[in-house]
Structure 1
Amino acid sequence: MPTTETLERFIARVEQNAHAEACEEFYTGNSSMQENQSAPRVGRDLHIANERKVFARAKSVTSRCVRPVFASGDIVVIRWIFHFEWIDGTITHMEELAYQRWEGERIAEETFFYDPAQRVPKKPQA
């Protein structure tokens, strides 16, 4: 079960757009991440590589936690809003829920729930 201080440090890292670093610091070595009902990615190194790949395509990113954060024992649910401005000039605005199972002070399993239509980049509105 994570402490309140650990949850706040995790949220702060993500809001600083240090997503790869948050994976290094807060996930177990064999953790799994799953997007909706897709097959999970397993292993912290794979999570880190995926985050770096996404951020390499972005010109800018804004990551924001929408409070309250729900925590009950080892289960934590966080509502996130992400805004990506891609190098090609398109944008992606996503809202998701992250359902996490923690083992002590690290995330062991995480599933993201969101509308997949949000992932389609759009041209900025004039």
Structure 2
Amino acid sequence: MPTPATLEAFIARVESNAHVEAIRDFYTEDATMRENFEAPRVGREALMAHEAKALARTASVTSQCVRPVFLNGDHVVIRWIFEFTSKEGTKARIEELAYQRWRGEKVCEEQFFYDPKQFAFR
């Protein structure tokens, strides 16, 4: 179970838009991550590579945690809003829930729930 201080440090890292670094510092080596009900990506290195590739397709991203954050034992639910600006200058606003299972002070399993239609840049 993460301590409140660790959870706050994780949220701060994501809100600073250091997404790859957040995965590096706050996920287990064997962590899994999945989008909605897709097959999970497995392993911290693969998660970092996927995130870096996704971010490279955009000009910028702004990340915001919408509180409250729910913590129950090893499980955490965070509501996120991400605003992406494409390299062409169009924008997309994504709202999602991240359902996480922590092993001690690190995320070992995460599933995102969101409407994929939100990824249409306008």
The bucket for the TM-score relative to the shorter chain is: over 0.9
Alignment match, 1:39: 39
Deviation at 1:89, TM superposition (A): 2.2
Deviations 1:24-74 (A, max 9, x none): 000001100000011110010011111111111221110000000000000
Letter in 2 for 1:25: D
Q: TM-score, normalised by structure 2?
A: 0.97
Q: Which runs of 5+ in 1 are unaligned?
A: none
Question: So what's the TM-score if we normalise by structure 1?
Answer: 0.94
Shift of 1:90: 2.1
1:121 Cα shift? 1.9
- Equivalent residue, structure 2, for 1:98: 98
CA distance in structure 2 between the partners assigned to 1:100 and 1:29 by the alignment = 15
Matching of residue 26 in structure 1 with residue 32 in structure 2: no
**Could you tell me which amino acid in structure 2 is paired with residue 89 of structure 1?**
G
Aligned length: 122
Give structure 2 stretches of 5+ with no counterpart.
Answer: none
Matches within 5 A, 1:10-89: 10-89=10-89
Distance 1:121 1:35 in 2: 19
Corresponding residue number in structure 2 for 1:115: 115
Q: Deviations over 1:66-123 (max 9, x none)?
A: 000000000000000000001022211100000000000000000000011111222x
Which of structure 1's runs of 4+ aligned residues deviate more than 3 A? none
**Greater mean deviation of Cα atoms: 50-59 or 37-46:** 50-59
Tell me how far apart the structure 2 counterparts of residues 56 and 39 of structure 1 sit (CA, whole Å).
22
